[in-house]
Amino acid sequence: MTGLGTMVNCAAIIVGCAVGLILKKGFPEKWQETIMYGVALCIFLIGVEMAQKSQNIVLVIASVVIGSIIGEMLDIQEKLNAFGAWVEKKLLGDRGQTSGSFGRGFISASLIFCIGAMAIVGSIEEGLTGNRQILFAKAMLDGILSIIFAANMGAGVGLSAVPVGLYQGTITLLASWMQNLLTPEIIREVSAAGGVLIMAIGIVQARLLPIRLANQIPALPVAVVLAKLFL
């Protein structure tokens, strides 16, 4: 079922929000930290599993290196950060108070859940291969974050499931359409390159290295081009 990963992700956000409203800051910080690290390790494991499927590791390395160079030249990470700050300022005002806690919760959660490599790579992976592991892991992570956000910012966090569903669902549908244009060999290598990015997400989530994840996203289209040329 196309889009199931996104549906689970949205459901996790809503459930997490409900739990957060019930707990109201009663979720100990050390619990939050330990669970987040646990999820980060699982995300890293998923990335390793995906990356190991490659039959041409040189192609994957070249894709990540070239993609990272392109990402740094375009400065994607900084542009996404600036876009998020601009949206928040426009909708919530200079002090972030004009829309109240409901608006703050909705905007903040929507930006965090949508603007990230995991949402893009996970949605593409589901569309191309039907593998929903990344989005299921993201659902766990977003669910935990929803608990924390809802306890502090209220019910608006739950409404962020709507833009998440539209955003990720659209990417999945586009990737599913692209599947008909790509060979299984190309899809395999693109998935392996995506696995490297997912490993990076686990590393960042565990606070091991300050990797600029968004700047590595071009590795995916680069992998398509290189695979087309050399496979």
Neighbours of 133 (CB within 10 A): 19
With 80 as the cut, is the pLDDT of residue 96 above it?
A: no
Model pTM score? 0.84
DSSP string, 131-181: --HHHHHHHHHHHHHHHHHHHHH-THHHHTHHHHHHHHHHHHHHHHHHHTT
Residue 98 pLDDT grade (very low, low, confident, very high; cuts 50, 70, 90): very low
Mean pLDDT value across the chain: 88
- What is the mean pLDDT of the segment spanning 9-37? 87
Give per-residue pLDDT as tens, 55-83. 999 999 999 999 999 999 999 988 888 88
Give per-residue pLDDT as tens, 178-208. 888 889 999 999 999 999 999 999 999 888 9
Give per-residue pLDDT as tens, 126-172. 999 999 999 999 999 999 999 988 988 888 899 999 999 999 999 99
Can you give the pLDDT at residue 128? 92
Can you give the pLDDT at residue 97? 46
